[in-house]
Chain A
Amino acid sequence: MSHAVTADSHGHAHDAHDHGPQGILKYIWSTDHKIIAMQYMFTGMIMALIGGFMAYVFRMQLAFPGQSVPGFGVVSPGEYNSLVTNHGSIMIFWVAMPVLIAAFGNYLIPLMTGADDMVFPRINRLSYQIFLISAILIIASLFVSGGGFGGAWTAYPPLSSMSEYSLTKLGSSMWLLAVALEFVAFLLGGINFIVTLMNARAPGMKAYDIPIVCWMIVIASILFMLSVGPLIAGAVMLLFDQMIGTGFFDPTRGGDPVLWQHLFWFFGHPEVYVVLLPAIGIVIEIIATFARKQLFGYKIILYTAIVTGILSFFVWAHHQFIAGIDPRMANVFTVTTLLISVPIAEMMFVTVATLYGGSIRFTTPMLWALAFVAEFLIGGVTGIFLGASGSDIYLHDTYFVLAHFHYTFFPIAIIGTFAGFTYWFPKMFGKMMNETLGKIHFWGTIISFNFIFIPLFFLGIGGQHRRIYNYENFPDLIAGQPLRVVATVAMLAMLAFQVVFFINLFSSLKSGKKAGNNPWKANTLEWTTTSPPPHGNWPQDEMPKVYRGPYEYSHPDRDEDYWPQNLPS
């Protein structure tokens, strides 16, 4: 870590890292946090398109079983399993994580805290490179002999450990390796985020002057680091089971298959908060800006996030209520799961309290942020039914679960990302996005999203199990076919509306209105530099100093309704 040490304090660190190569290499080999953020962002978007294509194929199969899917062909059962598995894995590990944590974290933390870059720029670059390799590996795993892994994103043994069952010897191991590599990438990124926030802030920026989104990303990174260890342990064990035939998860040889579930969900549940917290952070920034009102309860939000983080380590077995765990243990985990909805609800109320009495501006990012609150609410509330072990015994592994976590993950990974992307787009590229196209895209996406997943709640309550290739084989479930078709058609509509986004993206990049430094009249530090910011973020002798908290909107002593953090008075 030789290079790590030279960057000892804020402002002097700039010449400690190279200015990087020029030309096209500038974008591939750069250590600039903004470029690395864009690499993560656009890799994530490409992966989202791939994951979306997979969803298109398997939803078509569900609505029109056995028919040839345009652009893919007839879906075999093995392909179906592999598509579902990799859709889930890609959306969580290669879309939600890289975009919400890595892209926004990299972009925002130095800019919002007044640092010139991350404290370990070269580790940062390494992080993206490892991530890219992992992304290539997961895609490649779909094309090897036997096909991609099809044992679900949770990879329960024995399906994942024994190739006699999964029939994807190579695919399973490549999937596992890709996930492990991706974790290494985020480990490196997370270390950077935490140390940068602790050590490299602008003069005057005290703990409670740090914008909430930075706190959220850092708390999420800490959660990730504390939870990922046991899963890496499990992944090593699973890899040995697959490749050299150890019997860690094989009950016939003294192993224990439920052990994997514990190791997986000990990570898996905190992981949902790892992606949730950054999204809430983004939403809170946007709501405070466009409500033109001081954020309600800065400290409440911060402490609830910490409490949520701690609690999230004690709820994992709510995924295992019917895996044969002790009913007394199920009771404990029911209680902790119900408890954790309290801080989550608190964070939602804080956004509503901030809106109350504000002068709300319905810009595109604000619409996304408000939609996040509305849609996530449905996801959180349905989680309570699943967290109560009594009702979960019926609902487990039905489409109710599937609809539940899409009502949480979709607001997080898609709505939250669009909120953040449209809000910081002027800063990232120096141009405004088109509001009309933005609103068409917004309404199209939100309405079709609800038409996809509300039917799935009903199907789930009606007893439709997940991970089934063709429901025509189940006489009891045939009646649900119209709802399946509604969901698929709505998904086609949603995919079509994404075209509007890309038109907006490219036309705004090319000929959008110039943004200026601070188009939204916001307070935080990233709006004090040029759009896009230069290498080093500010000219070296103009590094910002901080005089107040980030949410001083509509202060009674001021004529303007905002008060940037860097103004002495």
Chain B
Amino acid sequence: MSTSSATIDTPARPAPTPPRQLLPNGVMGMAIFIFTEVMLFAGLVSAHEIVRSQSIGEMWPPYGQPRLSLGETAINTAALLLSGFVLYLANRIFKQDKAKAVAPTLVALLLGIFFVGAQGAEWVALLGDGLTMTSSTYGAFFYTIVGTHGLHALSAILALGWAWSRLRTGKLTATEFTTVQVFWYFVVLVWPFLYLQVYL
């Protein structure tokens, strides 16, 4: 394979080796999915921002609509953030000793369930105060954005529950665990942005 020709450049190659994997398949697939999700929330948030900036007299919430409970939700937010941190710890423990990770994973899972439950209780209260999907665009955006996040939180809980049950029986692989974690961290980390956007 001489390269005498000046126009075509084909230097000799080393023996073929399999391509280097940046990330395991499952984790990479999940990461790509998360990009789409980020854009989904970006779409919702920017729509909210546009409509808010056009509200009459810059009144937001509009006249007659209840304020959202910034304080109570702060507690829920703290619980969700904590769950992310606990899951991170669980992952570190998992690398040393799989069996010991069972308990912290369960704690993260329960914190997540607490978050969804508390948010649900808040919704019931707000509905009682007259904030509904059709009462104003304020209400419509609130329920759409927070509800979309809630659905994600529920799926994350199902996924982590599945991982936890496999962890208990010792069947969970490292890649599976990371894949579920990536999704969980997304649900945790996107929330503060939504919280600041919708509640403030």
Q: Which residues of A come within 8 Å of B, CB atoms? A: 1-2, 4-5, 7-11, 119-120, 123, 187, 190-192, 194-195, 198-199, 201-206, 225-234, 236-237, 240, 244-248, 253-256, 259, 262-263, 266, 294, 545-549, 552, 555-557, 569
State which size class the interface on B falls in.
Answer: 35 or more
**Are B26 and A4 touching (Cβ within 8 A)?**
yes
**Are A2 and B176 touching (Cβ within 8 A)?**
yes
Could you list 17 examples of A-B contacts with CB < 8 Å? A8-B25, A8-B175, A9-B18, A119-B25, A187-B36, A229-B43, A230-B40, A230-B46, A232-B43, A240-B144, A254-B138, A256-B50, A256-B51, A294-B8, A555-B5, A555-B8, A557-B2
Name B1-33 residues within 8 Å CB distance of A.
1-2, 4-5, 7-8, 10, 13, 15-19, 21-22, 24-26, 28-30, 32-33
Point out the residues of chain B lying under 8 angstroms from A206, CB to CB: 19
**Are B36 and A199 touching (Cβ within 8 A)?**
no
**Are B19 and A194 touching (Cβ within 8 A)?**
no
Name B55-106 residues within 8 Å CB distance of A.
55-56, 62
Option from B19, B30, B44, B133 in Cβ contact (under 8 Å) with A201: B19
Known: A9-B21, A233-B47, A546-B16. Contact between A248 and B179, CB under 8 A?
Answer: no
Bound Cα distance A245, B18 (Å):
55
Point out the residues of chain A lying under 8 angstroms from B62, CB to CB: 254
Point out the residues of chain B lying under 8 angstroms from A248, CB to CB: 47, 51, 137, 140-141
**Are A256 and B54 touching (Cβ within 8 A)?**
yes
Point out the residues of chain B lying under 8 angstroms from A237, CB to CB: 47, 140, 144
Majority SS at the chain B contact face? helix
User: Which of B41, B46, B56, B138 has the most chain A CB within a 10 Å cutoff?
Assistant: B46
**Are A247 and B140 touching (Cβ within 8 A)?**
yes
Bound Cα distance A119, B19 (Å):
14
Option from B13, B32, B176 in Cβ contact (under 8 Å) with A194: B32
Which residue from chain B places its CB closest to the CB of A234 in the assembled complex?
Answer: B43
Number of A-B residue pairs having CB atoms within 8 Å of each other in the complex: 170
Does B122 interact with chain A (Cβ within 8 Å)?
no
Bound Cα distance A254, B57 (Å):
11
Per CB-CB distance, the 9 closest pairs between chain A and chain B, nearest first, are: A204-B16, A229-B39, A230-B43, A233-B43, A229-B40, A246-B140, A203-B16, A4-B26, A545-B16
Bound Cα distance A245, B136 (Å):
10
Identify 4 new A-B residue pairs, CB closer than 8 A, beyond the known A192-B29, A230-B46. Answer: A10-B19, A228-B36, A236-B148, A237-B47
Q: Which residues of B come within 8 Å of A, CB atoms? A: 1-2, 4-5, 7-8, 10, 13, 15-19, 21-22, 24-26, 28-30, 32-33, 35-44, 46-47, 50-51, 54-56, 62, 133-134, 136-138, 140-141, 144, 148, 173, 175-176, 179
Bound Cα distance A198, B26 (Å):
12
**Are B17 and A5 touching (Cβ within 8 A)?**
no
How near does chain A come to B131, taking the closest CB pair, in angstroms? 13
Point out the residues of chain A lying under 8 angstroms from B26, CB to CB: 1, 4-5
Which residue from chain A places its CB closest to the CB of B13 in the assembled complex?
Answer: A547
Which residue from chain B places its CB closest to the CB of A3 in the assembled complex?
Answer: B26
**Are B133 and A259 touching (Cβ within 8 A)?**
no
Point out the residues of chain A lying under 8 angstroms from B50, CB to CB: 256, 259, 262
**Are B33 and A191 touching (Cβ within 8 A)?**
yes
**Are A247 and B29 touching (Cβ within 8 A)?**
no
How near does chain A come to B103, taking the closest CB pair, in angstroms? 23
Which residue from chain A places its CB closest to the CB of B178 in the assembled complex?
Answer: A5
Point out the residues of chain B lying under 8 angstroms from A192, CB to CB: 29
**Are A5 and B25 touching (Cβ within 8 A)?**
yes
Bound Cα distance A43, B56 (Å):
49
Bound Cα distance A296, B152 (Å):
47
Which residue from chain B places its CB closest to the CB of A544 in the assembled complex?
Answer: B16
Which residue from chain B places its CB closest to the CB of A254 in the assembled complex?
Answer: B137
Bound Cα distance A547, B17 (Å):
10
How near does chain B come to A294, taking the closest CB pair, in angstroms? 6
**Are B51 and A254 touching (Cβ within 8 A)?**
yes
Known: A230-B46, A245-B134, A555-B8. Contact between A187 and B176, CB under 8 A?
Answer: no
Point out the residues of chain B lying under 8 angstroms from A549, CB to CB: 10
Which residue from chain A places its CB closest to the CB of B52 in the assembled complex?
Answer: A254
Point out the residues of chain A lying under 8 angstroms from B173, CB to CB: 5
Which residue from chain B places its CB closest to the CB of A228 in the assembled complex?
Answer: B36
Bound Cα distance A4, B62 (Å):
48
Known: A229-B37, A556-B8. Contact between A246 and B32, CB under 8 A?
Answer: no
**Are B16 and A547 touching (Cβ within 8 A)?**
yes
Bound Cα distance A231, B62 (Å):
26
Which residue from chain B places its CB closest to the CB of A201 in the assembled complex?
Answer: B19
**Are A4 and B25 touching (Cβ within 8 A)?**
yes
Option from B15, B55, B133 in Cβ contact (under 8 Å) with A246: B133
User: Which of B22, B24, B29, B46 has the most chain A CB within a 10 Å cutoff?
Assistant: B29
Which residue from chain A places its CB closest to the CB of B28 in the assembled complex?
Answer: A195
Option from A199, A231, A259 in Cβ contact (under 8 Å) with B25: A199
How near does chain B come to A93, taking the closest CB pair, in angstroms? 17
How near does chain A come to B25, taking the closest CB pair, in angstroms? 5
Point out the residues of chain B lying under 8 angstroms from A226, CB to CB: 35-36, 39
**Are B39 and A228 touching (Cβ within 8 A)?**
yes
Which residue from chain B places its CB closest to the CB of A225 in the assembled complex?
Answer: B36
Option from B28, B37, B141, B175 in Cβ contact (under 8 Å) with A198: B28
Point out the residues of chain A lying under 8 angstroms from B15, CB to CB: 204
Bound Cα distance A187, B40 (Å):
13
Point out the residues of chain A lying under 8 angstroms from B144, CB to CB: 236-237, 240, 246
**Are B2 and A254 touching (Cβ within 8 A)?**
no
Which residue from chain B places its CB closest to the CB of A2 in the assembled complex?
Answer: B176
Bound Cα distance A236, B47 (Å):
12
How near does chain B come to A179, taking the closest CB pair, in angstroms? 15
**Are B16 and A5 touching (Cβ within 8 A)?**
no
User: Which of B1, B40, B47 has the most chain A CB within a 10 Å cutoff?
Assistant: B47
Bound Cα distance A245, B133 (Å):
8
**Are A240 and B13 touching (Cβ within 8 A)?**
no
Option from A203, A229, A255, A556 in Cβ contact (under 8 Å) with B42: A229
Point out the residues of chain A lying under 8 angstroms from B10, CB to CB: 548-549, 552, 555
Bound Cα distance A557, B46 (Å):
59
Bound Cα distance A105, B10 (Å):
28
How near does chain A come to B170, taking the closest CB pair, in angstroms? 15
How near does chain B come to A232, taking the closest CB pair, in angstroms? 6
Bound Cα distance A9, B32 (Å):
19
Point out the residues of chain B lying under 8 angstroms from A231, CB to CB: 43
Point out the residues of chain A lying under 8 angstroms from B13, CB to CB: 204, 547-548
Point out the residues of chain B lying under 8 angstroms from A202, CB to CB: 16
